Amino acid sequence: MKKALITGITGQDGSYLAELLIKKGYEVHGLVRRSSTFNRHNIDHIFTTDTGRHRHLHYGDMADMNSLMSILKKVQPDEIYNLAAQSHVKISFEVPSYTAQADALGVLSLLEAVRLLGLNSKIYQASTSELYSGDRKEAPQNERTPFHPRSPYGVAKLYAFEIARVYRESYGMFVVNGILFNHESPRRGMNFVTRKIVHGVAEVAAGKRGYIELGNLDASRDWGYAPEYMEAAWEMLQQQTPGDFVIATGETHTVREFAEAAFARAGITLRWEGAGADEVGIDAASGKTLVKIDPEYFRPNEVDYLCGDAGKAFVSFGWKPRTTFTKLVEIMMDSELSKVTIQPKASKIDTQIGVGCLEITDIEKRYVNEVLESGRLSQGPFIKRFEREFAAAHDARFAIMVNSGTSALEMAVACLKEVHGWRDNDEILCPAVTFVASSNVILANNLKPVFVDIDAQTYNIDPVRDDVCKI
């Protein structure tokens, strides 16, 4: 039985590749990074027992060569698929050093570890269409098109590409570079534009949000279906001699087209008005604005046009795409629509809000995963989005996120004091059963809390009672 080691196994590509290799009879191992939160939803159905997870998933890091050598020595893989990366282009501008460590030097560490251990492992290095400049005149891009990356991510991947080639030529190692153009699926991370679109459109269709926000609508990409691209990755390691291969559909579509197709699958026809940052997508039937532009999502240096030529892969091992652009959008949209139509579980308490009763539905889980996958736990785009949507829902000009409920209460009381002309030491009614913050924010504004009895069912002050008792 062949053994395969997949770095980045928890991601979209890693999970599909693991499924493929298991079907082909491989013993599959994966490298996972240690973190305080698990992000393994893509592979939970593959490694279903504690024993399986312990045996086949190994803690390590591409930036830690010692951990790589330890795992390689233990697993002794026949094939290595290096899919691990900080793979978000926009985020690479925010964390360029980390991107270089993981995507460039991590590849060097892996290659050197294999060489030092004397392994005969075949190695697949996941490369990217972000190596190219995106100049329309160079399209379709193939293995002979000059590289000219426009982001820290692209530059890191270019180093990885070249160091893989150098180890192949210098040490006779079987190393291939798979130059994969954009490939998507329902397992795509939430911070990638395609998944962001289908997720947002599904929520708009379900009435869970008013609109979605996008960046450059005219960026053109060659989008394919991820499981088919992993078939190509496997094929590359089955060749007699190693080489580099472009994998792409040969078609290009804009972000605008992707959004139109996604809304169409939800039964909504878009029309566009305005230009630049003021352009909006409008529901042709209702006139509601469903798409807005947020310059926050613009890249500092955009790759405008990508369209790949996978002719070499077809000639070498017969690979060609099977899933059309329209079908790809349908697959992703149908997955998202099936999620938003699931009704939340019935509340455990019908007459009051439970104190300490935890109820988390799939909606909350998805949003938590979105934040974790974005790489920003605070001061990220989700905060701005929440502020805008919360303000719109309450017909307010502004909404401001703060660090805690206590801070929000303190600001609210300060505003009320200013608006209504309350004076220092004025009495403010406060429920007797509450958290200390409720009274502390009153004291912090130089007011006097007066505790009153509560309604036994709701735990709140009953505003219609005329016999409210002071405590």
Locate tokens 């053994």: which residue? Answer: 3
Question: Is 188 in a helix, a strand, or coil?
Answer: coil
Exactly one of 7, 10, 99, 128 is catalytic; name it: 128
Give me the catalytic one of 10, 26, 81, 130. 130
Catalytic residue status for 48: no
Report yes or no: 307 and 252 within 8 Å, Cβ to Cβ. yes
Cα 343 to Cα 361: distance, rounded to the nearest angstrom: 9
* Active-site residue, selected from the candidate residues 16, 81, 124, 153: 153
3-class state of residue 159 by DSSP: helix
Q: Say if strands 280-283 and 270-273 run parallel, antiparallel, or are unpaired.
A: antiparallel
Beta-strand ranges (E) seen in 308-447 are: 427-431
What is the C-alpha separation between 363 and 386, in angstroms, rounded? 15
Number of other CB atoms surrounding residue 271 within 10 Å:
12
What do you get for the CA distance between the two ends of the chain, in Å?
75
Hey, CA dihedral for 70, 71, 77, 79, is it positive or negative? negative
> Is 130 in the active site?
yes
Q: Which of 112, 120, 118, 29 is nearest to 75 (CA)?
A: 29
266: number of Cβ within 10 Å? 17
**Which backbone phi and psi does 264 adopt, to 5 degrees?**
-60, -40
Catalytic residue flag (residue 99): no
Q: Bridge partners of 38?
A: none
Using only C-alpha atoms, the chain has a radius of gyration, in whole angstroms, of 27
Q: What are residue 220's phi and psi, to 5 degrees?
A: -110, 130
**70 φ, ψ to 5°?**
-65, -45
Q: What is the 3-state secondary structure (H, E, C) of 127-167?
A: EEHHHCCCCHHHCCECCCCCCCCCCHHHHHHHHHHHHHHHH
Active site members: 128, 130, 153
